[in-house]
Structure 1
Amino acid sequence: YESKADLLAMLKTAQDLWDIRGAADTGNLVKNGEFDSGIANWKTWIGATSTVPTTTQENGNNILRLQTSSSVEQTISGLQPNTTYTLEVYGKVDSNGYVSVGFKNYGGDQITARLNSTTEYAKASVTIRTGATNKAVTIFLLKGAGTGAGSIDDVQFKDSTPEGERPEVMAATEALAALFTAQTSVSTTHLTPVTKDNGAIKMTTTDADIATATEKVAAVPANLKVKATLEAELARATALFANLQASQTANLTKNSQFDNNLTNWKTWAAATAVTPVVITENGNKVVKLEGNSSVEQTITGLLPNTTYTVSMYGKVEAGARLSIGVKSFGGAQANAYVTATTDYAQGTLTFTTGATNTSAIIFLSQGNVSGIAYADLVVTK
């Protein structure tokens, strides 16, 4: 005999399968897929010597009966191009032979699966992807060779596109990704750099960008699991954007966006190097640092034994090495490096002043002989 534990496990499995099947109609695009209305919505076909498909009762449930050389089909419209759909059919055959279930007229080759169980109802599943312009498909159930009839109990056709490939999800993901840039963080108590590909908000982010991302995330269907992740990323972006907008509040760095060129900044360049200059890039002023050059500023009014963070946005080209650093604060000099070559990325450096120190020198440096670095929005708080 089966043990009680085994029987309970079997019962749970059966209940789980029943629950899944009970929820199966959600999103089903097939009309009259359980044949409760006979063969309404289905187009029939028969061979020269066959009989028309009919429905009958089995254990109180309507089923479709297909004799040899007969079929039913249904055209489903309103589909999305370049979208994955799955057909699932439960059925069995009386003796030998099989029932073919499949697709045609969807922008790809006809594809089928077979139902050939002769004892219990089994499931056949077929998946397709619609063509670039196709918005319809014809599904069919065909009893071909063999002497016995086929029985079909349930037909399901649903959008089975992976969540990450759904247009709404892709649009939201793209809109969110456009808000972020890389971030490299260093602390004087933990000098190992921590780099996050999407750790910072882009310094060029606008209210319109946030509004677009909000709209795209809102358009993602609520039943998709990925929506919670997208909403969390939107919340993170919104918080980072708020911090960006407030970056000048209590900022201890003077002329932090180089709007007054190099006022408040002290320049340095090696004997054969080019002195740093401020240039205009896409309507925004940034400092340009060529090989072996730097700018620095003394930050005063600090409190002893107090932790501060200095940050900046920067990018490099032609092998440059850009760093934001701090020195003369009561501890060892430290640097955080930015290596982004396309978008401006953020570098942050956290330091703690010494027991009697009330000032620190922050600097931006391009330490390689060759290459050019660009930096902007230097914030000390």
Structure 2
Amino acid sequence: MLARTASADAVISNPGFETGTLTPWTNSNSASVVANNVHSGSKALNLGVSYTGVEQALTGLTPGATYTVSAWVKNASAGDLVYLGVKNFGSPDIVATSTSAAYTQLTITFTMGSANTSASIYVWKNAGTAATYADDFTISAPLLQNPSFETGILSPWTNSGSAAVVSGNAHAGSKAVNIGNAYTGIEQALAGLAPNTTYTLTGWVKNAAAGDVVYIGVKNYGGSEVNTTTTSAAYTKLSVTFTTGSANTTATAFVWKNAGTAATYADDFTLAAVPLQNPDFETGVLSPWTNSGSAAITTTNAHSGTKAVNIGTSNTGVEQFLTGLAPSTTYTLSGWVKNAAAGDVVYIGVKNYGGSEVNTTTTSASYTKLSVTFTTGSANTTANIFVWKSAGTGATYADDFTLATVTSQTYSGQNIGFNTQDPYFATSASLNQMYDKIVSTGTKWVRGTLFWDLMEPTQGTINWTQADLIFNAIQAKGLKYNIVIRSAPAWAAGVSSTPDHNYAPTNGTAYGNICYQIAKRYLNRGVTIAFEIGNEENMQFFNMPSVDPAKYTNNMLKPGANGIRQAASELGVAAPTIMVGGFSPVEPAYVPNSVAPLDFMQAIYDNGGKGYFDTIAYHPYTYVSPSATSHWTFTELQSIVDLMAAQGDTNKKVWATEVGWATGTGEGEVSEADQATFTAGAFDTWFGLPYAGPMMWYELIDNASYDNANRENTFGLLHSDATWTAKPAYAAFLAKIGP
């Protein structure tokens, strides 16, 4: 029983002790094979209690090659110390340790000396209090060895001419290979490749004399030789991609030069499997896709080429496990699918990548390109992609999948900002602390509500204390101000009291006056200001006692816009942006006492609202889904944009004045990992829209004033503890902010 390396010569014998004996391990004291405390299989190694261990000599290793040894170990008594080590490989011992009472994988990577072909691996324990167990040893090597020649020798590359390792002209590090002048090269036999698998070989090369031709290529892999060339005198990255044959596990990589006039140098090679394999099914087999139903390769109904996969009719699909992904990286999976019977639903999706499953669908009977975007978790390098079909009436076909890395794009902080929890109730010190934090993010906008009922509880007497405190802090920090004016006082709402600050006005003249007074006080003081007339006016919660688009238009939008524009005119400044208050993307069937955003917008036009706003604000919340897959939220927004265009309001930039995800385990909450993934994707989704305007995140900090079991209080990118501990989403947010 052998645990093999990628180089077929080096093995660990009896790696899981399933032979029932120690041989060929040598025993340094009381070690024995046992049939309990196994990691896998039916046997394991019991090292003993103190000053005991086992060792095995490995032969047939390659000078200069790099290997990785791993083993699973556990201590019966937590705190005992067990070592995994490697020695006699041409450098000092390397060890890894564990004190855990649970099976823990220890891993060591080592590079052989230039003349060494053997090494010894061992497990050892000094003083202890109880037994220690070990199991399942492995040794592996990179598919491509000595890629950067830093060992100082060519091995395991072989020399086909005058090539030699040199200490100058390196691409990186201190060494490279000088290929020579003419009819010379190097090659390396690659072992341990997987059949029917696509790989990319990459290397950097340069010519001392521009015009000389140097080749990088691969041969003997089960297909025709592939190569590429350069004549450049500067280091140039060359890449070739190849797919091994159905029975091929080896190949040969090479660098070659024909006639030339001066030296050529090569350095820093890589060989990596392409994460998505057999994307177009042209191999004629499903592998490495796995079949979850009746899927099969077909030579009809291909999107391109000669083959596709017939998914089947009902409750069937295919799936592929992807490896070699990069952590915290955004990818887009695309594939072409079609249904024989229009109306059948087929899904393409991704799961197990460090976030919640993402998928998209089509019911089309013609080939349709579906795409989903996902961002791997901070420790995730694998994922599962799938095509799935539930009930159906005819066959479904899929073909031509691609997986592409999405270049991380940043967006100007000039167009991004934050909601902060109730600045109207904050102290001067806490406001300055919050706004300093916003400045540190590189964003510029602050969205805050001025509560009319608190500013003017008695008609005609306005208390400016808190409003001035907020404005002065924003002004001092050089920020921009998105002001929301809402919450009518009792005297303007026709009620006896407004305990929750959520009543809509019945007195439009009075609302117009407070908007005028606020604009007149702040518009000429050097701060960029935008006004939002109300908040989520299509929901009852902020617009008690009931949602009424006609009353909103006549009692808030029209008088509010008139008051703000009058103040700007009197001050001699440009009129600021005025927005219809941020729509909530509600579906009335699920949210009682609400109006769909599109219907509300239509009612604004029907009640003469055209001309009283510059654009709209929208809250593209997607509940517990990423932005890219929330079809209702963005379909509804597109419908509003189309309606505005039909009314002559074209080229309006929509403001996303609230967007975010609550964290927790309750309804409507997501994990902190998902919040981070969704946050990164939200930027690309929003700013990818042709009508995207500024975006205000909801919100910077969790609300410490209320029960955090309530999802309204856990949207923050920062926890509400004393030091504002960052959630993972905070780093994801910062990574998207540009100048």
Same-fold call, TM cutoff 0.5: no
Q: TM-score, normalised by structure 2?
A: 0.22
Q: TM-score, normalised by structure 1?
A: 0.40
Larger RCO (CA within 8 A; separation ≥ 6): 1
